Each structure stands twice: as C-alpha cells, then as structure tokens.
Structure 1
C-alpha cells in the first residue's frame, strides 16, 4: 500500500526540481502530481500532473455501509415490531440491499462535489500561489524521498494518508 505525502513549493521551478528529486529517489512518474490555483494549473501544469481527485469513492463506500445498516435495521424492525405487514427476513435483505444502493448513490453525488482532502486541508497554501507536490510511495521509501525533495527547497506539509483512502 502506498502513502501520500504533500510538499509545498514557492514556484514552478522548485516544483519541477521536487518532481525530479522524487523520481531519482525511486518514485514512479505516475505517482507524482501537482495541485495549484486554477490560473497556475491551466497555464503551466500538464494534464498528466494535475490532481483532480474528489471525495467520490470514499463517500460512495461510506454511503453504502451506512445505507446498508439503515436498511437492515429498518427491515428488522418491520419483521420484529410489525409482524402484521408480513415482511420476511428475505425482505429485510432486500431492504438492506436497497439501502446500500441508495446510500452509495446519494453519498457519491455529494462526494463528487467536494474537493479532495489535500485541496481542503491546504486551501490557504493553494490560494497563496504555492504549488503542492503530491507523492505516493511505499512507506519504506518515503524517508529518503522526503530528504531528496526537501533539499530542493520544498516544505513538507503535515499530510500522510494511505492512498487507498484518497482514491
């Protein structure tokens, strides 16, 4: 599993140097991305480097879990408290499945409208015109990667999250 680290750079020159340092430290090119203000991203950052994640997948998973639980509880209440309506335990399973589907759908819609966690946490850095370098790497590689990147003038920001929770 990979872990994401975030570094702040004052300009494109430093961001490019940080990218090169990460590559030289063993990070694959596709595991490096950039986040910046829209005016900087549009004019100066190639599409392959842009980080455009949203909270879509994590929100859908949360919605599926909570929707399923809610459907299961509702179905169980219908079976146990209101036996006169004739709902079976199989019906409870169907209600739980419907809860999973509705929960995942509704949550994914909301999640797709939210910016990714990096943009949320470091909004001030982005608005100030700094360019964030995002690096996804194996835990054993990251200390050497951090040393290499910070030598370029990039500042390590307090963010360390398993990549699976982001994407």
Structure 2
C-alpha cells in the first residue's frame, strides 16, 4: 500500500517517535539516527478569517465476522440469541440518548452481560425528503460506540433479527470478562 511522502516537519516528528520506541525482548532494534530538533512554531497571525480545522481521525469500523466466530454470527442472524439487556433510545434527544447508551453499556459490562439489544429506530427511507427530520440517533450510534469509553469491551455490533426489531435495532456483543 503506497502512501504519501512525509513533509520535513512530519519526518522530524516521526523521528522523535521512533527514538522513544524500544524493541520487544528478543527482537533486534533498528538503528535510528538522532532525531533532528523540531522547528519552533511561528507565532500565530491574528486574523479574522476562520482557520480550517481537520476532523478527528476515527477508528475504522469493524467489519462483519472480524471478532465473532461463525456460530455467533449464525445465531444472531437467525434470532436465536436472547438479549440480556435492552437499551431503548426512542424519545431521547441526542444528548440524553448518548448518556443513556453510556450508562446502559456500563451497567451491562458491570453485570457481565454479553448481548445488549440497542433500539434506535429505523433509518430514514431512501425516498424521504432530505434533510431528514428523523434518524439522527441512529446515524450517531456507531460513532458513539467506536469512540466510547466502553469501545474496548465491545466485540461486535450487528443488525438485529426482525423478532428483536430488525432495521430499527442493533445487537451490541460485549467481550467476555477474563
């Protein structure tokens, strides 16, 4: 996979990072030249124009089957899994839905539950008028899960079976406590 070349300032930062890394026991360390000093940042110019802000980098979504075995995926797809907890986000604002999701996941993890049914509501139909008046919670849920304090405890997120809400719900599969 070819990527872009690093600029001089990026090369300097990368050299500093490489200088702080130690090889694992039993592995050979690459020789790294001393990192050149970082250039001092220039004083920011005062301007009334807005400066562009880059969006934060989000972790890549987990694809289907990456963290669950085939048996789990089969039981979820056929609806043979009984959720141990349901978190219903209907009627919430974005802020209260995010809070309810965080609280519900924390409680499920504390109790050692494995399958949480997250009811979000169905996504807007493709033929609906844009911008959508509905579906903001559903659109935000996957980002909330990936960036939450509980992200490390989530093994996978799958669409729910029609008996558990179909397109209006998700299964959140939590990792087993070790």
| TM-score, normalisation: structure 2 | 0.23
| TM-score, normalisation: structure 1 | 0.24
- Flag the structure with higher strand content: 1
- Flag the structure with higher helix content: 1
Which of the pair has the greater relative contact order for Cα pairs under 8 Å at 6+ separation?
A: 1
